[in-house]
Structure 1
Amino acid sequence: MTKFKTNIFETALAVLTLLSIVGLCFYFYELINPDPTQDNPFKTFDNNPGIIKISIASLIARTIFIICFCYLVVDKFKQDNKIITVYLFIALTIGFLQWYELYYGSTFYYGEVRDKQGLRFPLLASFMVTLAIWRINYTKTQNRNLIIKLVLTGLINFGLYFLWTQVNEPWNLWQS
């Protein structure tokens, strides 16, 4: 039997990603089979072609992330640099897509609900960037590597939060 290995952060991130895939499936189901008896206040936003394209890209990226995660938890694939590269690239892509949806959904007009989508700080994006930081070894010294990872995690996540606070008012996120 194959032995499985992973850390708690990656496992939790995979579970969150899997739950977000389920949520996206519900979103696409609602697009394909709208309920005429239920009034959806986000219909204009949900049916926007740009948001649909971002959601499709997000679904594809998250599915690839889960597939790569499953490969990486199997020992024989642990050192496969191609899969690790795809895994990290997809993690960063998921992070980018969340920020892009935040930008796109808050900048363009979708009727009265354009600024009321509840688009808060993209936490999954922050987690994906953190995953990429912690999966890379920067030096051969374990202590120095740990310090670099901690500093990068703090700086990048603080930078992402600072960026979010700067766009909160111009993008009308506070009206959510």
Structure 2
Amino acid sequence: MAILGKLLKNRRAGDHGLAWHLPNLAAEATFEVNSPDFTHESPLPEVHASKRIGGRDVSPALAWTAPDGAAQLLLVVEDPDAPTGLPFVHCVALLEPTLTELPRDALRADDPAPGVSILRSGFGHGYRGPAPIKGHGPHRYAFQLFALTEPITTVGGKPAAKAKPREVFSAAQAVARGRIDGFYERP
């Protein structure tokens, strides 16, 4: 597996493909997103990594102060260093606008925290921890939070929970956004 990582070393989706850069989500207003589990641009603890590689798929705790008047919050976790055409989507969730924090492990598909609606991601539903290809180098995980002007209940005539991640991103309109990035590299 390390050989594959080395072969794909220079192939990465890139920052430009993140939800953060979509015109409808690229709000000028920003707010801070923090975590007691990691600081911005620092390594993610192993507990937050995928079970496939020895982690526990536990989503990190997050806290923020979104602007007043948000109708809903959209949380998107993406890996722009994945060797794919677009960043790999690790989690998508809609949050009640009154929430100001998520406890650790709040993004479980089978038991999300109150006020959290889990949507489809790259592999099913719920938080999927980092599992970069061995030998591919460090991967960045962008935890992006968008304050939306209108709540999303349906996308293209189907329930939001059944929509593909990029369909949800296209249906959203942000008034403000915040972000915290963590890194993970397989030993």
TM-score (norm 1): 0.24
Tell which has more relative contact order, 1 or 2 (C-alpha 8 A, sep 6+).
2
Q: Is the radius of gyration larger for structure 1 or structure 2?
A: 1
Give the structure with the larger helix fraction: 1
Give the structure with the larger strand fraction: 2
